[in-house]
Structure 1
């Protein structure tokens, strides 16, 4: 019984610290759901803590667009990448996956449109 109570007490005390350990995705550029009048020169992802991004893809109407990354796969709070191909009008999706400083895997997508 004492061990159970101690375990519950430790869980309650440590829970806020564990929640803060996770890196969270924050709005970047382009923003999710944004409609652009011109192609972006750079795509930017922002995080609440250091993230090592292991997968970064930009997919559009003509398929995957290569991205030139500047982070060298190092942990970052802001990741920027330049599209190396031409971005025409249509729907695009940035797909990312990474690992936070606490070792937890996170992933997400950002959808945007480029007007004709």
Structure 2
């Protein structure tokens, strides 16, 4: 008796499409500073991100209530597991979003974000 497996690839493909992109990602953001969804007292002295694998960071942008935030350091586009910068000026109270984008060693484009608030 022969079993039909014709539907199996379709079922697997459908399951993979339902997964959130973060579960299929090659490089994961391990942590950030400030921590995601945290509130900090006063302007943070540094804004940083750590990854679980090497990543060629090509973009690191911070935006807040007054728009884009000028940063003291930009990504160098070298492989790294950690990137750290600081705002060029004091951050006003409000909500901030940090978005990063990079290339994994296998060439996949990776992106994520984290948010924090300043009071």
TM range (shorter): 0.7 to 0.9
1:114, CA displacement in angstroms? 0.5
Q: How does 1:1-116 map to 2 (within 5 A)?
A: 22-69=26-73, 71-115=75-119
Q: 1:40 to 1:109 in 2, by over 3 A?
A: same
- State the TM-score, normalizing by the size of structure 1: 0.76
**2: CA distance, partners of 1:94 / 1:26:** 14
**1: CA distance, partners of 2:45 / 2:112:** 21
Contact 2:64 2:97 in 1 (8 A): yes
- State the TM-score, normalizing by the size of structure 2: 0.74
**2: CA distance, partners of 1:62 / 1:88:** 8
Higher strand share: 1
Match of 1:12 in 2: none
For structure 2, list consecutive stretches of 5 or more residues without a partner in the other structure.
1-24
1:86, CA displacement in angstroms? 2.3
Q: Structure 1 segments of 4 or more deviating over 4 A?
A: none
Match of 1:18 in 2: none
CA-atom RMSD in angstroms:
1.8
For structure 1, list consecutive stretches of 5 or more residues without a partner in the other structure.
1-20
